């Protein structure tokens, strides 16, 4: 590009100030064969147009990449801003930055835990989804470790500070994202690889053309120089500046219509190379919302009656499992009133419903028969079994778990058709992970469970060291570093901003089938770019030998450039015909919170 535009510019300067191009009334005439008069013709528009298109492509590419710094700031801003520290027997609100190791602070229900620490008093359920990505809160009691920025959902806690500042888990997660992004090597541009061969060849041909005409053909210097420069001008394909940006604009535009946001041309090349796709479980393959999957009752009890009474009691609780039971029980009827409601931390809830004492929670005694079988089976599948007691008798077992999305199995099948090996990576227990894998068609051998965020990065790195090109699909903050580390990162648009910024492709919905469409569209767009690049060179390369033997006027290079540009644009517009494998249109982003019924606080 530099040689071609430079030659055109220098040629034009010579013609303007030394030749006759600058004389009043001077006009250019098109000649099929070079003549001495061609030294009077100018080609300033060639340099201007080519450089303008290239700059347009660079601008679009830079704009599409986005910036990760804002996302990292959002990650750090997720933490609490201040904390209620116990000093001299009284609570004092202080900024989180002033907390010291050994300080004890109070965390009330609904508040974020200010920093990493250890519970010294109280018990509660802590929502650690921002850390682990799992939807079930963790029960904590005296002596339990807690993490800053996680949410206390129920009881009052006293927490002793164990880590502050850059040593906290939240800060370490931000560091992981930054390091992973820094380690990702930029994909070498296809144009550069072609130019590595094309440019030296063109220079050699141009020099040989000049020498041949001067010393072998005994032509005049003007004729020889005309032929040599004609080679350089013809070898400068104007369409090259359009090849990538037009296909990228049309491809990403069509992707946006389907809810697929592609960040740049390097991403397209990554989609062609990937052979393994690692998927987060919660919120990606599964709904991320707890739901009732089974109700087993003892002899003498009615299923609907047990579920209704349990739902009535759980309606007043804030726990996600309680919400799931209340939602299921109230799906087809109005729940009865509850009196004498009580919530016992770590045990469950109790209340009187229609004159009956109802307890929902952990088993108080031994289960027998079908109830024990249902309880054991639920645990095997990674679910959470809840025992319902009515008037002191074990009446039933309700199984609650995060279920696979209805479309996940079709998505996994589609990924396999693209030649990818699907893997499931999760912080959840192995039983739950393998149960979900079986539902959606993932080989149990490709399941990796019970991993923390830093472990997810190590898993991706290990697969890459094994020679695999890895794609990662996730939606949580805990997935951000792994998304950045992967050769191709795909983030669910219903996920966090940090995960989206760390990814290469954003899926603006929660349907995993969109990942299939994103890879298909990206590969097709890459194929179009390669076709554009081929034709951008082909038209001009075909004329190089003609120009080299002195049979072509340089002004005809403009015609070849215009024709190749039209072809490139037309070829790129074919991408508008891309269709989704499941007839998707761009949906509005959703969140699991909006799909979850808001409970009534006790």
Task: Give catalytic residue positions.
Answer: 280
Measure the CA–CA gap between 304 and 289, rounded to whole angstroms. 22
* Structure letter (DSSP) for residue 40: G
Q: Which residues of 320-349 are buried (b: 16+ CB within 10 A; e: fewer)?
A: bbbbbbbbbbbeeeebeebeebebeeeebb
Measure the CA–CA gap between 185 and 273, rounded to whole angstroms. 14
Q: Residue 68 phi/psi, 5° resolution?
A: -90, -15
* Structure letter (DSSP) for residue 373: H
Q: Tokens representing 15?
A: 């013609």
Pairing of strands 470-474, 447-448: unpaired
Half-sphere exposure of 111 (CA within 13 A, CB side): 18
H or E segment at 3? helix 2-17
Q: Tokens representing 464?
A: 């890459």
375: how many CB neighbours lie within 10 A of its CB? 20
Nearest to 525 by CA among 279, 284, 275, 256: 256
* Structure letter (DSSP) for residue 554: T
CB 313 within 8 A of CB 360: yes
Nearest to 440 by CA among 475, 399, 403, 471: 403
Nearest to 288 by CA among 443, 496, 453, 147: 496
Ranges assigned E (strand) in 254-367: 260-262, 276-280, 286-297, 338-344, 348-353, 356-361
Residue 448, classed as helix, strand or coil, is strand
Q: At what angle do helices 513-548 and 265-273 cross, to 10 degrees?
A: 110
H or E segment at 400? strand 393-404
CB 108 within 8 A of CB 206: no
Measure the CA–CA gap between 76 and 173, rounded to whole angstroms. 9
Torsion region of 172: left, alpha or beta (phi above 0 gives left; psi -120 to 50 gives alpha): alpha
Q: What is the 3 state secondary structure string of 507-532? A: ECCCCCHHHHHHHHHHHHHHHHHHHH
CB 284 within 8 A of CB 592: no
Q: Which residues pair with 399 in a beta bridge?
A: 294, 385
Measure the CA–CA gap between 531 and 243, rounded to whole angstroms. 8
Q: Can you spell out the DSSP letters for 109-123?
A: TTPBP-SSEEEEE--
376: how many CB neighbours lie within 10 A of its CB? 13
**Which residues are CB-contacts of 10 (< 8 A; sequence separation ≥ 6)?**
none
């Amino acid at each position: 590009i530099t040689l071609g535009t430079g030659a055109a510019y220098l040629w034009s300067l010579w013609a303007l100030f030394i030749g006759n191009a600058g004389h009043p009334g001077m006009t250019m005439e098109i000649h099929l064969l070079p003549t001495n008069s061609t030294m009077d013709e100018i080609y300033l528009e060639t340099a201007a147009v080519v450089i303008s298109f290239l700059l347009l492509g660079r601008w679009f590419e830079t704009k599409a990449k986005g910036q990760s710094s804002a996302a990292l700031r959002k990650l750090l801003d997720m933490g609490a801003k201040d904390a209620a520290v116990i000093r001299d027997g009284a609570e004092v609100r202080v900024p989180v930055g002033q907390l010291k190791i050994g300080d004890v602070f109070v965390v009330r229900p609904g508040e974020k835990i200010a920093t990493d620490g250890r519970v010294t008093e109280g018990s509660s359920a802590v929502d650690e989804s921002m850390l682990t990505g799992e939807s079930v809160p963790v029960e904590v009691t005296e002596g339990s470790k807690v993490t800053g920025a996680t949410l206390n959902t129920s009881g009052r806690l006293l927490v002793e500070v164990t880590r502050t500042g850059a040593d906290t888990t939240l800060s370490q997660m931000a560091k992981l994202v930054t390091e992973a992004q820094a380690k990702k090597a930029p994909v070498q541009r296809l144009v550069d690889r072609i130019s590595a061969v094309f440019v030296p060849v063109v220079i050699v041909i141009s020099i040989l053309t000049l020498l041949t005409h001067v010393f072998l053909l005994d032509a005049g210097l003007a004729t020889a120089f005309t032929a040599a420069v004609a080679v350089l001008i013809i070898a400068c394909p104007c369409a090259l500046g359009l090849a990538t940006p037009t296909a990228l604009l049309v491809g990403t535009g069509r992707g946006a219509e389907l809810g697929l946001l592609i960040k740049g041309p390097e991403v397209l090349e990554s989609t062609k190379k990937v052979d393994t796709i690692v998927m987060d479980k919660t919120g990606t393959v599964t709904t991320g919302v707890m739901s009732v999957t089974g109700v087993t009752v003892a002899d003498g009890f009615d299923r609907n009656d047990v579920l209704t009474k349990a739902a009535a009691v759980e309606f007043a609780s804030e726990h996600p499992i309680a919400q799931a039971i209340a939602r299921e029980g109230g799906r087809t009827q109005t729940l009865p009133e509850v009196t004498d409601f009580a919530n016992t931390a770590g045990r469950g809830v109790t209340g009187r419903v229609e004159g009956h004492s109802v307890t929902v929670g952990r088993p108080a005694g031994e289960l027998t028969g079908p109830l024990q079988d249902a309880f054991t089976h639920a645990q095997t599948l990674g679910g959470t079994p809840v025992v319902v007691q009515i008037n002191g008798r074990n009446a039933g077992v309700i199984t609650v778990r995060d279920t696979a999305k209805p479309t996940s199995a079709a998505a996994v099948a589609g990924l396999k058709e693209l030649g990818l090996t699907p893997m499931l990576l999760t912080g959840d227990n192995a039983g739950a992970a393998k149960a979900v894998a079986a539902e959606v068609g993932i080989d149990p051998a490709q399941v990796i469970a019970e991993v923390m965020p830093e472990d997810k990065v190590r898993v991706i790195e290990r697969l890459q060291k094994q020679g695999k090109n890895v794609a990662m699909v996730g939606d949580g903050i805990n997935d951000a570093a792994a998304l950045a580390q992967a050769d191709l990162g795909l983030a669910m648009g219903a996920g966090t901003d940090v995960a989206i910024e760390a990814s290469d492709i954003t899926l603006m919905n929660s349907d995993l089938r969109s990942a299939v469409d994103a890879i298909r569209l990206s590969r097709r767009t890459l194929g179009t770019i390669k076709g554009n690049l081929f034709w951008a060179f082909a038209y001009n390369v075909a004329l190089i030998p003609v120009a080299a033997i002195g049979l072509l006027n340089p002004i005809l290079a403009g015609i070849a450039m215009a024709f190749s540009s039209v072809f490139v644009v037309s070829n790129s517009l074919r991408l508008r015909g891309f269709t989704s494998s499941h007839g998707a249109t761009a949906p509005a982003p959703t969140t699991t919170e909006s799909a979850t019924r808001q409970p009534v606080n006790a």
